[in-house]
Amino acid sequence: MFRGFYTVASGMLAQQRRTEMLTNNMSNVNTPGFKADQTSLRAFPEMLLQRFDKQKIPTEKGLNLPFNKQIGSLSKGVYMQEAMPFFKQGDIKETGLDTDVALIDIALPENAYFFYTIEGTNGNTQYTRNGNFSLDWKGFLTTASGLYVLSDTGNRIQLSSDQFTIDENGVVVGEGGETARIGIGFSENANSLIKLGDGLYRTEDGNALANAYNVENALFKLQQGHIERSNVDAGRTMTEMLSAYRAFEANQKVLQAYDRSMDKAANEIGRIG
């Protein structure tokens, strides 16, 4: 009976965590460059139950031989695997703003992906797909959260005014003649990146990603005045959220049934009338 409590509780926890993940996806449906998290539910490894016994052999000295009898398997509940971002190009939306830049994938090996190169708060290199940039008061190109956008040489990009152009090869030309090239990182396995929040990622070992401009068979282009939207499928996410709610409620009803059974076992069975 108590084992049933644990099994049902694990199912409720898994559905609760799944709902939290889907809710976060839904809340970022309008966040530029956001990549939806995805996961799956798996059962804990099952146990094979066996009963150990002994068999008496009718001999002069009464020999007993040990043996085991297979009873069957026992499930130990369910859990939610680690959530991983779904790296897929989002829709491209025209905004008309010079500071908005869309990173468009043209050709990529499987599991590979492109990212903008960003200077993190502690000076380390981070990566994002959010091209909703702006200029700070010093003229540096920054992300919406104020982090510096880096060039392909690892330097900050500073412009004399908000009148500048960015071609499809990432070359930035300012009104005063200043030039730079937006840094683009290339990850051979984007699933190995660590998600930091706010649309940012970093590598596991802290080393910088390869310069995408030097990678063969990996093609991309930048489009000024456009933005990459979130790749969250709102309709599908709502359907999965409702499914998670229903599964949570079903486990809850089973838990209540177990509770009523335990209450009867403790308070009614064996009662002397």
DSSP 99-110: TBEEEEEEE--T
* Helix (H/G/I), strand (E/B), else coil: 13: helix
Residue type, 260: R
Residues of the chain with pLDDT under 70: 1-3, 44-67, 69-76, 269-273
Residues contacting 263, CB < 8 A, separation 6+? none
Write down the pLDDT at residue 75. 63
Write down the pLDDT at residue 150. 97
Q: Determine the Cα–Cα distance for residues 196 and 124; give it in Å rounded to an integer.
A: 13
Write down the pLDDT at residue 77. 74
Q: Determine the Cα–Cα distance for residues 112 and 106; give it in Å rounded to an integer.
A: 12
Write down the pLDDT at residue 168. 95
Pairing of strands 37-38, 134-135: unpaired
β-bridge mates for residue 94, sequence order: 226
Pairing of strands 92-94, 226-228: antiparallel
- CB atoms under 10 Å from CB of 41, counted, come to 15
Residue type, 229: R
Write down the pLDDT at residue 1. 52
C-alpha distance from residue 252 to each of 124, 155, 165 (Å): 46, 55, 58
Spatial contact of 150 and 226, defined as CB atoms under 8 Å apart: no
Write down the pLDDT at residue 216. 87
Write down the pLDDT at residue 92. 96
* Helix (H/G/I), strand (E/B), else coil: 30: coil
C-alpha distance from residue 258 to each of 11, 14, 250 (Å): 14, 19, 13
Element holding 43 (H helix, E strand): strand 41-43
Rg of the chain on CA atoms, in Å: 29
β-bridge mates for residue 65, sequence order: 55
- CB atoms under 10 Å from CB of 173, counted, come to 14
Closest CA to 131 of 34, 22, 49: 34
Write down the pLDDT at residue 42. 75
